[in-house]
A and B are shown apart, each in its own frame.
Chain A
């Protein structure tokens, strides 16, 4: 009996494992392998040792891409978590049209990032400058996506607008795990709503805060679509994210091996950040 059960479980796992290995692990290993060569994506290649890795560290374009990506990811992660927690608390309260509102707030997540990006691009190009002109606000009267100092803010707005939906969903799931009796007890003790939030709600959704921080950070560090739709990495190269750089250099520029090295480094960086986040944030969760 036991063996048969095991066999069934095995049967369920093996196809997924095979698919995952062929389409994910194997290409990843291949990428790591090629990062030690001078492979252009086709043709002959030679081993070049660590040359690609050393070049990445001296590449000003790669370093500025790292700088932009981190600035963008940190700001967006903080904003997304604040906004989605607020929305989740609002949607969890006993309000009218709760279900309709929940669906509405989830809508941005279903839309394609590219479509959202192009719509926002239209607004930044045509609507916002008109508003800026009408109100006499100087920096708004031209397209902010064309301004090297402001373009990244446009990308943050789109990224936050879209990904708030998913994080709100996670927070809603978290809020529904909190036992209402705890609040009733707090009411009897005469706790105000501010105290209830900091002493009960926030500590009890802390595990969800942890995932949301990790997931949001990881997603923003890999930002690609929003940037392609909005600025294409410009003006100049100020909004070129690392994913975009890897794609551009690797597939269009014939630097497959070099950008593979960049991807490997970036993979390590993202894993390291995720682990640090998990460690730090888990420590302050209530057990």
Chain B
């Protein structure tokens, strides 16, 4: 297997996860204009699925405790260690667990999106944003305190479907490349969506809801479907992150990391523009990694803990983008439904017909 330096891997990993979450946010915020301030909700849902479900199924299969005691931290460590030993020997099973969990996370995330449609159809702007934000925090509070689910404040270990390729660097590389693959798929899907009739419907609803409904577009259905798609994507990111970190503690899933940061990436790159989102996530990931690497050198120059520097930096980026470049680095452009060559061909054909028409007169 190719050995990449850990720094590069870290950048790719953070970039991939950030891209999935931000693309999902962009579909809801950029394409449809929903104030999605509760991205955390779907991400956390995905992480909870990954932490609670595959481990329990495997434990039941192996005859280990899988009920509420599975999440009890004194048992959990031993149970997960045994499951991981089995997974280590069985690549097919590992991949199966991985894919099954991602599909399940997407389904549950979609369901969460469906449930969010209830407030999303009744509330507007700031009210909706705050409600969705409250939902995310509510789920976090429940997961953090309800022990039988994922161990509450002690947290639990998550089964490791990446481990079969080897320990340490090999696992890291495999996990990173896998996430990059998922991120690329999600990105390609978002790009296709933007070019599809559905994508154009979203933007029509965003720009002129009344007009869209007059032309027969079912606005309620469009909103519900978008929330489901976005929720499913974000849940996949959450599940991947839980698998990669190998442990689950609900309190580490904050609205800052999983809602506000993706918002910042999206605003930096350009709301509504997929390529912009990609660039925004990339720029931010590289900068952040650079800050971490040059931590020592930085604190010698600026007497500020780099952790706080990061907050100040993200805050400044958001404020600067909002003030000076509200459309982002790569602004949203009308997406061409067909490749340019096809459009040119059609245009020429129409032109010929027009000339012929003019000649026959």
| Chains A and B are bound partners | no
Task: Give the A-binding residues of B (Cβ under 8 A).
Answer: none
Task: Give the B-binding residues of A (Cβ under 8 A).
Answer: none
